[in-house]
Structure 1
Amino acid sequence: MSNEIPVTQVDPSSEPPNKNNKPETVDLYASRKKIYVKEVKGTFQKIRNVSLTLLMGMYFLFVWLTLDGQPLIHFDLPAREFHLYGVTFFPKDFFLLSGMLIICAFGLFFITTLFGRVWCGYTCPQTVWTFIFMWIEEKVEGSRNKRMKLDKAPNSTEKVTKKTIKHSLWLFVALATGLTFVGYFYPIRELIVDLFTLQANGWAYFWVAFFTVATYLNAGWMREQVCLYMCPYARFQSVMFDPNTRIVSYDPNRGEPRGGRKKSVNPADVGLGDCIDCGQCVQVCPTGIDIRDGLQYECIGCALCIDACDEVMEKMDYPKGLIRYTTENELEGKTSKLLRPRTFGYGAVLTLMIGAIIFTLVTRVPAKMDVLRDRGALFSFNGEGHVENSYTIKIQNMSEVPQTFNLSVEGLEGIRILTTTNVTVASAEIRSLPTVVDVPPESIPDTNNTIRFYAESETDPSLILETESRFVGPRPR
């Protein structure tokens, strides 16, 4: 099936498209050309190496850490419990997750208005894993030129060996990634043992295989295609850009007209700019663009082109910064503003949400008590002639350690709990306790009276739960 559509020039004021006035064809689909990224060293590559090491270290290490015997991070879906840094969250706490997602979104918007796509260039998982896979490829197959030569060469023992080693290492990293990801939902120590002894359930095998294949394909084969065609951020990022956004840019005023020359030649003497048209900025770009063509949605802000260009400028004894982080206003000789209404708006919402989440977490009580009155009977009299009401006390322990509570009740003179007043609740447990309360008839002022139940923790004396309920009695005489 052809991908070409005939196009004919219909503007009568223009020259015909060709002498025979035949329609031209425009290819609407171009197959992907493999990008061979050249290694570069420089300031921004060092920053990326630090961020990559920290992020990968956190990802692969945190899954193994425990606190009081409980994984530091564990999303226990069957039990509907989420353990994060010693705090247990339940489905009712999902509003906190929503708040955190809003913080992440506005944090991304805020940073983007200031510095463009630095998230994509330094911290995006796709970028992090892609750079790891490219590093493996370079160590196994050699420099950019060697990799290009190897791919063009016919199959040989050397080529097959290098390709096998590369893909084996890719699969190893992908498998480690899949195991680690599933380990946040299925305790990693149990997961490893259960997988290799064939004791794990089918879903564990499925998700490990799924994330292994996804990592291998995305970081090893698709790479920039994920950023260009699958990531929505590349499409709407321009909405957050303005002439004051600091992005990776080429300075055409200084670089044009570009052209080759000897190091000893003064560019002004030959009518050239500082750009020697070496193409290094293109060769190091992981998405294969030419930054000299201006801002493009494919640019992920990785700044590799800055490092490459600075290296060339240094060799030519030219000032660095032909390609740099700058703003559209600065390139035009205008003043650039860091703070502006858009950044104030994003910053205000971000600050407000962070404050709200911190306040909620600080004031969050690690336990909860509910008292349900038995509606099957209004009241009864016991052998002492006191009026009795029946209740069910439910205590939920959301801390990481067992809690022992002492129960009490107040609100009416002589009120007391006849059943047990001491209860131990395990971590993440909801304990239901049938309870009977009685009151001397002469202490009941009305048929419906307000009382309060208290649960004081022996484990943590500062933890005191209280809730209100009703005590029903006979009509006063």
Structure 2
Amino acid sequence: MSDLIPTREEQEGDGEVRYRMLYESEDKVYIRHIRGVFTRIRKYTGLPLLLAFFFLPWINIDGRPSVFFDLPTRQFHILWTTFGPQDGFLLAWLLIIAAFALFAITTWMGRVWCGFTCPQTVWTMMFIWGERICEGDRNKRMKLDKAPWNLEKVLRKGGTHTIWLLISLATALAFVGYFYGVRDLVVDLATFKANPQGVFWVAFFTFATYMNAGFLREQVCKYMCPYARFQSVMYDQDTLAVYYDAKRGETRGPRKKTVDYKAEGMGDCIDCYWCVQVCPVDIDIRDGMQYECINCGLCVDACNSVMDKMEYERGLIRFTSEDELQTGKTRFLRPRLFGYALILLTMTGLFAQQVVTRSPIEAEVSRDRGVRMFRELQGQVQNVYMIKITNMDQTPHEFSIKVQGKTGYDYSVRKPRKIYLVPGEIFSVPIRVSVPTAQLKEAKHDIEIIVEAVDNPELIVKRRAAFIGPQQ
């Protein structure tokens, strides 16, 4: 019996415990279509994300896609701002903020990210919509799968997979378009001029989306997603999640609408299994909290619709907390949630301040390795530096280079007459900084190299460097 696990056969509804092989492949999940409050909320949360994902690459700003990750030039354009590799810390910062936001939301309302905005859930729901359009709702799909192959079945299944492939192809084009330029990508594919890498990645993401949302579905949430495994660490007694009110629902069982079920010792649950039939991860919420549950609320909508038909009070299955089920009260404001919120607000404020005050030009100063530490020439001590200037602004600029150091030292700088950089250009330029030998009173001191845009003095970068001379 070590390779067997107990399971309840929900479809038969007899409650009998049977056994199945531990590594037996699971049956296909047929999801019943349901309407309700949480189904509508999902449209309002998922639709903006879908519109942004699919249409942002098509919107041009300053002659380029509004979001474009140009890997060959190492430039990352997001709306009106261009980021470079030196801004990588901002990406790390943003990911940490997103993680803390996820922790805070999970502590407050459980896995609502998974149920309402996770791409796995959103794309799975789109694929289920395509399946329902071509094959009908749950019962019709089950009958169609059991029926022998004929022309109708071929057409319906073919229509389903055509919709799946179209959604997958649109997804791949949009995603690869963020790195290739979606307008160029579509034209190059249509004219067979796309480079092999672009064709490969479009094919790869089309196949990955098709398999992931079409066939894996709940397996990703149950077995592949790490979030499902460590979410319990963030839950507490007051975390809102989908619960079945066993005190009110038990003892469950079918009955007629006119029967005085309470007199017969029955609860509000009529054992209709709608909560199971609408569940995208194929669990029975009445068995208690389970790590597979993604808090999508579909079972809440299904149960409420049944309660309405039976003229019972809604909320047999609802978003609530463990404390509320036991004591009737929930603490919405608690120290743990305050801590997450405080950290999140602080980090978000600091991140915004860094982005707003970030300079669109960058300069790196290093000593020229091909030249000695210093040279003495005609009564002057000379140091050579390499300055790498990056223009991350959307307009070209001419740059000047100045040097400031100790009071009483006369610094002279030899550099190219004109340093002109177009948007996104990176240019390395050597400069020679000289000081009269007679003025030097120490072997090493600090200087400040200033790079400034001639047409906009507000664009200025200052970098410290060491000036080295002979021992005094």
Gapped runs of 5+ residues in structure 1?
Answer: 8-23
Alignment match, 1:147 = 141
Alignment match, 1:35 = 29
Aligned partner of residue 33 in structure 2, secondary structure: coil
Alignment match, 1:363 = 357
| CA distance in 2 between partners of 1:261 and 1:119 (Å) | 37
Identify the match of residue 430 of structure 1 among 420, 426, 435.
426
Identify the match of residue 330 of structure 2 among 321, 325, 336.
336
Aligned partner of residue 269 in structure 1, secondary structure: coil
| CA distance in 1 between partners of 2:427 and 2:110 (Å) | 51
Deviation of 1:248 (Å): 0.5
Aligned partner of residue 210 in structure 1, secondary structure: helix
Q: 1:443 to 1:64 in 2, by over 3 A?
A: same
Residue correspondence of structure 1 range 422-461 to structure 2 within 5 A:
422-437=418-433, 448=444, 450-461=446-457
Gapped runs of 5+ residues in structure 2?
Answer: 6-17
Residue correspondence of structure 1 range 10-409 to structure 2 within 5 A:
27-373=21-367, 375-376=371-372, 378-381=374-377, 390-409=384-403
Aligned partner of residue 464 in structure 1, secondary structure: strand
| CA distance in 2 between partners of 1:276 and 1:26 (Å) | 27
Deviation of 1:302 (Å): 0.6
| CA distance in 2 between partners of 1:437 and 1:6 (Å) | 79
Contact 1:4 1:27 in 2 (8 A): no
| CA distance in 2 between partners of 1:157 and 1:232 (Å) | 42
| CA distance in 2 between partners of 1:475 and 1:288 (Å) | 79
Deviation string, structure 1 residues 9-39 (Cα, Å, up to 9, x no partner) = xxxxxxxxxxxxxxx9863333321111111
Deviation of 1:284 (Å): 1.2
Instruction: Name whichever of 370-379 and 274-283 sits farther off.
Output: 370-379
Query: Aligned AA for 2:183?
Result: R
Alignment match, 2:463 = 467
Q: 1:55 to 1:386 in 2, by over 3 A?
A: same
Alignment match, 2:11 = none
Alignment match, 1:15 = none
Deviation string, structure 1 residues 76-116 (Cα, Å, up to 9, x no partner) = 22333322233333333222222222222221121111111
| CA distance in 2 between partners of 1:286 and 1:365 (Å) | 47
Contact 2:61 2:80 in 1 (8 A): yes
Contact 1:284 1:308 in 2 (8 A): yes
Is the radius of gyration larger for structure 1 or structure 2? 1
Query: Aligned AA for 2:283?
Result: I
Query: Aligned AA for 1:221?
Result: F
| CA distance in 1 between partners of 2:225 and 2:444 (Å) | 61
Deviation string, structure 1 residues 278-329 (Cα, Å, up to 9, x no partner) = 2221111112222111111221111011111111212222221111100111
Deviation of 1:172 (Å): 0.9
Q: 1:459 to 1:321 in 2, by over 3 A?
A: farther
Aligned partner of residue 325 in structure 1, secondary structure: strand
Instruction: Name whichever of 143-152 and 169-178 sits farther off.
Output: 143-152
Using the size of structure 2 for normalisation, the TM-score is 0.88
Q: 1:438 to 1:106 in 2, by over 3 A?
A: closer
Deviation of 1:447 (Å): 5.9
Aligned partner of residue 268 in structure 1, secondary structure: coil
Deviation of 1:226 (Å): 1.3
| CA distance in 2 between partners of 1:6 and 1:29 (Å) | 9
Query: Aligned AA for 1:120?
Result: C
| CA distance in 2 between partners of 1:237 and 1:346 (Å) | 15
Contact 1:393 1:434 in 2 (8 A): yes
Q: What is the RMSD of the two structures over their aligned residues, measured on CA atoms? A: 2.7
Instruction: Name whichever of 219-228 and 362-371 sits farther off.
Output: 362-371
| CA distance in 2 between partners of 1:457 and 1:182 (Å) | 35
Aligned partner of residue 88 in structure 1, secondary structure: strand
Deviation of 1:449 (Å): 5.4
Query: Aligned AA for 2:125?
Result: F
